[in-house]
């Protein structure tokens, strides 16, 4: 029977009937879903806590790397894929921001969408590090990027407005306070300030550093910064005398 070709004829009829029943053309092998980059992998994120001993305090005390004086930009972007909803990548570059985003397109998740950027940033690599540590509890790692053969660890699940404000304040502090000397060392006065904050259990934040600088320059009173009962009492007496 098989030699007579009857089996092939029946198979052909059955295939036609199946095609009609499904209402579509039968393809011998199912077509694979196409991605923008065939090397891209499925997106997954995992929490990325800092290593033991790495803190905002220790990051401030690190010497700047040679050649770190070149100004640059901080940038914030995401992708439009559903897996990246609520996720923001925070990075720095000493080149053109758009060129850097074009390079990230190689990861295969579509075109990066720029959310914000700050240009003319002094010591941008250090500022990026400080921003990352202040937002550490919101930090995530993209589990694996096949294109770059590593995990991208600069992702944050946070409101973009909050991230921008923290970055802006660190940029402002770095620009206005100029806290590192020509050798790339944190100046003694700032070492004392950050040590004081740590010793008294106060968090190191960009907002606190900006306030300390404003106190030093006389644009803000120390009583407005330090939450101390004695200082508040002194301030109340002074205000009462002014009213009298």
pLDDT for the residue 161 = 97
* Of residues 193 and 8, more confidently modeled: 193
For 205, residues 6+ apart whose C-beta sits below 8 A from its C-beta are 134, 166, 169
Digit-coded pLDDT (tens) for 167-212: 999 999 999 999 999 999 999 999 999 999 999 999 999 999 999 9
Compute the average pLDDT of residues 38-53. Answer: 70
pLDDT for the residue 108 = 82
Residue 148 has pLDDT above 50, yes or no: yes
**Share of residues in the chain with pLDDT > 70 (%):** 73
For residue 178, what are its two tokens? 């100029």
Residue with tokens 């029977």: 1
The pTM of the full predicted model, rounded to 2 decimals, is: 0.73
Digit-coded pLDDT (tens) for 64-103: 998 778 999 999 999 999 989 999 999 999 999 999 999 9
Cα 35 from Cα 79, distance rounded (Å): 14
For 107, residues 6+ apart whose C-beta sits below 8 A from its C-beta are 37, 40, 145, 147, 148, 152
User: How many CA within 13 A on the CB side of residue 182?
Assistant: 0
Q: Would you kindly state where each structural domain of the chain is located, as residue ranges?
A: 44-226
For residue 168, what are its two tokens? 């802006």
């Amino acid at each position: 029977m098989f030699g007579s070709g009857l089996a092939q004829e029946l198979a052909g009829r059955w295939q036609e009937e199946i095609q009609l029943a499904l209402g579509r053309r039968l393809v011998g092998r199912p077509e694979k879903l196409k991605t923008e980059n065939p090397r891209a992998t499925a997106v997954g994120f995992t929490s990325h806590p800092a290593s033991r001993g790495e803190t905002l305090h220790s990051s401030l005390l690190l010497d700047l790397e040679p050649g770190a004086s070149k100004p640059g930009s901080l940038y914030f972007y995401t992708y439009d894929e559903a897996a990246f909803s609520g996720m923001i990548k925070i990075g720095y570059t000493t080149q053109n921001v758009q060129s850097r985003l074009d390079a990230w397109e190689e990861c295969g998740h579509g075109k990066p969408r720029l959310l914000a950027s700050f240009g003319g940033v002094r010591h941008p690599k250090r500022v990026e590090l400080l921003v990352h540590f202040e937002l550490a509890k919101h930090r995530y790692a993209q589990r694996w990027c096949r294109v770059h053969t590593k995990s991208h660890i600069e992702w944050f699940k946070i409101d973009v407005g909050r991230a921008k404000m923290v970055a802006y304040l660190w940029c402002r502090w770095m620009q206005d306070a100029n806290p590192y000397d020509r050798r790339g060392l944190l100046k003694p006065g700032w070492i004392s300030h950050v040590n004081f904050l740590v010793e008294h259990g106060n968090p190191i934040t960009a907002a606190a550093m900006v306030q300390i600088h404003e106190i030093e320059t006389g644009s803000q009173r120390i009583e407005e910064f330090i939450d101390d009962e004695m200082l508040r009492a002194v301030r109340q007496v002074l205000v009462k005398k002014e009213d009298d």
